[in-house]
């Protein structure tokens, strides 16, 4: 099956909906991969030079002035995901979760987030495998990103949290193993890049817009048929 190649600029709302609803595969081009690598090289250079970078070599929020030792930089990113996966309530619909993942991939492939190509490739594997995270519907959204929902999404990537296995909900690590995948090890900046976005809100916007367009067409058709039946002029 032909893959839709994402570059962060070409994905339309109808295409996003079609890809998710029909479980169509996605991928990236060599040019997009090269752009992601160039972006990552900048981050690695800064880290090597021991430069101060918020959320990469420092803590977050109130801890912005706390320097993180080199040996703890990766742990910082892992802990960021775990600490923010604090959503509650009923789970999000599966199609919304898949839209979130697709849109997050589409954002990261632009090459502005400084993540490794390996991270993007692993997210694509998750999407193409049909692995769907179990994400509680209530949590912080819109404030510096949809932090709680995106953290639950990222948890599956690193083998934490829960994911769907058919109708069942299982530990993410077990679901990954069923698909021949291993938990991904985050490196500098990658936890921050995964959750600093608004893909939950955007996913709902895509769904709502598609429904609105469909209802608008149905209203026009119903109105036209009614006039025809009544022989109106």
Tens of pLDDT, residues 155-166: 999 999 999 999
pLDDT at 24: 97
Average pLDDT over residues 11-34: 96
46 pLDDT higher than 70: yes
Here the tokens at position 168 are 């069942």
143 pLDDT higher than 90: no
Here the tokens at position 176 are 């990954």
Crossing angle of helices 94-108 and 13-21, in 10° steps, is: 130
At residue 42 the predicted structure's pLDDT band, cuts being 50, 70 and 90, is very high
At residue 97 the predicted structure's pLDDT band, cuts being 50, 70 and 90, is very high
Report the percent of the chain where pLDDT is more than 90.
92
Here the tokens at position 34 are 């090269």
pLDDT at 127: 98
Average pLDDT, the chain: 95
pLDDT at 30: 96
61 pLDDT higher than 70: yes
Residue 219 CA to residue 206 CA, distance in Å, equals 20
21 phi and psi, to 5 degrees?
-65, -30
Is 162 assigned a catalytic role? Answer: no
At residue 233 the predicted structure's pLDDT band, cuts being 50, 70 and 90, is low
At residue 232 the predicted structure's pLDDT band, cuts being 50, 70 and 90, is confident
Average pLDDT over residues 106-126: 97
With contact defined as beta carbons under 8 Å apart, do 43 and 114 qualify?
A: yes
Report the percent of the chain where pLDDT is more than 70.
99
Q: Output the pTM of the full model.
A: 0.93
148 phi and psi, to 5 degrees?
-65, -50
1 pLDDT higher than 90: no
142 pLDDT higher than 80: no
Here the tokens at position 135 are 């994400």
What the chain holds in terms of domains, given with CATH numbers, is 4-229 (1.10.275.10)
Three-state DSSP string of the chain? CCCEECCCCCCCHHHHHHHHHCCCCEECCHHHHHHHHHHHHHHHHHHHCCCCCCCCCECCHHHCCCECCHHHHHHHHHHHHHHHCCCEEEECCHHHHHHHHHHHHHHHCCCCCCCCHHHHHHHHHHHHHCCCECCEEECCCCCCCCHHHHHHHHHHHCCCCEEEECCEEEEHHHHHHHCCCCCCCCCCCHHHHHHCCCHHHHHHHHHHHHHHHHHHHHHHHHHHHHHHHCCCC
HSE (side-chain half, CA atoms, 13 Å) at 152: 27
Average pLDDT over residues 188-196: 96
């Amino acid at each position: 099956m032909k893959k839709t190649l994402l570059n962060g600029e070409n994905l339309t709302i109808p295409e996003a909906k079609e890809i998710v609803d029909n479980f169509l595969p996605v991928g990236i081009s060599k040019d997009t991969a090269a752009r992601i690598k160039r972006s990552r090289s900048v981050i690695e250079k800064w880290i090597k030079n021991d430069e101060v970078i918020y959320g990469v070599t420092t803590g977050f929020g109130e801890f912005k002035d706390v320097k993180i030792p080199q040996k703890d930089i990766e742990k910082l990113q892992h802990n960021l995901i775990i600490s923010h996966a604090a959503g509650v309530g009923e789970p999000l619909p599966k199609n919304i979760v898949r839209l979130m993942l697709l849109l997050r991939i589409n954002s990261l492939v632009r090459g502005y987030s400084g993540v490794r190509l390996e991270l993007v490739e692993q997210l694509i594997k998750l999407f193409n495998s049909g692995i769907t995270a179990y994400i509680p519907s209530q949590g912080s959204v819109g404030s510096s990103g949809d932090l709680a929902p995106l953290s639950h999404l990222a948890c599956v990537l690193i083998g934490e949290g829960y994911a769907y296995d058919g109708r069942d909900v299982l530990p993410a690590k077990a679901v990954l193993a069923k698909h021949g995948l291993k938990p991904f090890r985050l490196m500098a900046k990658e936890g921050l890049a995964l959750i600093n976005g608004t893909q939950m809100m955007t996913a709902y916007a895509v769904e709502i817009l598609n429904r609105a367009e469909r209802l608008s067409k149905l209203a026009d058709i119903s109105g036209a048929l009614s006039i025809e039946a009544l022989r109106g002029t």
